[in-house]
Structure 1
């Protein structure tokens, strides 16, 4: 047998008979209970200013050029790709960072790696960044 722990059923459109017996049409809600009908004139958000967004987009283009140095080096040199992958698989962070820096990258970067991939996070002045994920 099924046990119902909630003996009362609540239906959204169910009202007790005494509440609807004298009313044929619904009465308007008191103003302090009704939802406001006028839209707020002020937005909760600050006004749109695209200056910082455009500045970040410009900085990301520079970061992408730096990331291109790394990807071109990996693509162009099988020895470099082997050394980088081997150092990452051996968890030799100093060697990985040294190899990446040897490509000519001049911005700050951070590396993380797993047995499956290498992640390089390029950071520029705290305004923006780019994460490059290279799988193997």
Structure 2
């Protein structure tokens, strides 16, 4: 039994053939009108460089880097807080034991209090399983989530 795969090609504005000039069709209402000999025929003219050809316009909206800029700066703050938490977890076995004991007893609020007691500023969601600890650092800009940093640490 043979299967034949026929790929489907979708239009991409980045494909080199997408930027070829589009020849405009002549206006059908004027096809029988004679042009005077001293005036050039508009059908044979190319579009001047200062006019935009509607076929070659960018189909995407104008980009605005402000949201990306703000998200990157907020993520730097999240990374700073994550670094503080990781430094504490990597330097204190007593703190780790206390955190794991509360997690083993399903005391979620105590686990969150321990993480917050380290001295971080950003919001953090703490999720844990018998095998791992997952920390999700979340930041908001103008009441909408802009960025999230997840760290998964294996403890078993």
TM-score w.r.t. structure 2 length? Answer: 0.59
Is 1:80 the counterpart of 2:131? The answer is no
1:110 aligned residue (125, 128, 132)? 125
Which of residues 57, 60, 67 is equivalent to 2:75?
60
| Runs of 4 or more consecutive aligned structure 1 residues displaced over 6 Å after TM superposition | none
Render the CA deviation track for 1:23-81: whole Å, top value 9, x for unaligned.
xxxxxxxxxxxxx9849434443222222112211111111111111111111111001
Which runs of no fewer than 5 residues in structure 1 stay unpaired?
Answer: 1-11, 13-35
Q: Unaligned stretches of 5+ in structure 2?
A: 1-5, 7-17, 23-53
The alignment status of 1:129 with 2:148, answered yes or no, reads yes
CA RMSD of aligned residues (A): 2.2
Secondary structure at the counterpart of residue 54 of structure 1 = helix
Q: Which residue does 1:15 correspond to in 2?
A: none
Q: How far apart in 2 are the matches of 1:43 and 1:85?
A: 54
CA distance in structure 1 between the aligned counterparts of 2:60 and 2:101, rounded to whole angstroms: 49
Return the offset for 1:99.
0.5
Q: Tell me how far apart the structure 2 counterparts of residues 94 and 66 of structure 1 sit (CA, whole Å).
A: 19
Q: Whole-Å Cα distance in 2 between the matches of residues 52 and 130 of structure 1? A: 17
1:51 alignment counterpart: 66
1:43 & 1:89 partners in 2: Cα distance? 56
Which of 96, 105, 108 aligns to 1:90? It is 105
Count of aligned residue pairs for this structure pair: 102
